[in-house]
Amino acid sequence: MSIFLALVAGALIGALGALSGKFDTPIFHITGLVFSGGWSWACLAFLVGYTRRSKIESAVVASSALAVGVVVYYTLKWLSPVAPIGMSADGMEVEGVSSGMLAWGIAAFLFGAPMGLFGNLARIPGIGGLLFRLLVPLIAFVETSARLRAEAGDAAFGDVTWGTIRVLAVLVALALVGHMVWQWARSARKGASQASS
């Protein structure tokens, strides 16, 4: 993934998070829930880091992509055509939008950099890389479990969306472990056949 594509992906996640709440349809509501969750932003930083060769570049590009996403998110919230003048769609004043942009922009740099680095380290074959590859499913599982406990029944489609994400996180984790075991068994068989010949 080029640096440009990483920044475009950051802008896209910010736009999806901000605009999906503007439409009163189930698919947009679910999209809003998914892209308002921290796990989806962590996943973006992780994937950006996974695609970079350099560890430093992984950290810098991942945090930059998240920062772009934050700027796009708050800018679109502020420019919302349904908001009263000087207010965002969720009722925050312009000062609240700029302070939110600043706070989450700083968080994007602080948390995006390690997630990008972890994504880069996930390329390590075997169990060393597996521990990093399991990080995003773990974050998704923990966050959606917390949301299910704290916000049960509060948001339309919330329980179903978070429950589905939680199940998918477990399935992805099992698939990652299964893939590593399969690779290990395949290399062990290959080593045994070479030793016997």
> Is pLDDT of 148 > 80?
yes
For the segment 83-101, the average pLDDT, to the nearest whole number, is 57
Give the mean pLDDT of the chain.
Answer: 86
User: What angle is formed at CA 92 by the lines to CA 104 and CA 161, rounded to 5 degrees?
Assistant: 65
DSSP-assigned letter for residue 84: P
Whether the CB-CB separation of 20 and 29 falls below 8 Å is answered with yes
In terms of residues, how long is the chain? 197
For the segment 139-161, the average pLDDT, to the nearest whole number, is 83
Tokens representing residue 72 in the block: 């796009």
- What are the angstrom distances between the C-alpha of 195 and each of 61, 171, 185, 188, 189? 44, 36, 15, 10, 10
DSSP-assigned letter for residue 29: H
**Phi and psi (nearest 5°) for 85?**
-60, 130
Position 120, amino acid: N
> Is pLDDT of 156 > 80?
no
Q: Which pLDDT tens digit goes with each residue over 117-126? A: 999 999 998 8
Q: Which residue has better confidence, 59 or 79?
A: 59
For the segment 15-40, the average pLDDT, to the nearest whole number, is 84
DSSP-assigned letter for residue 87: B
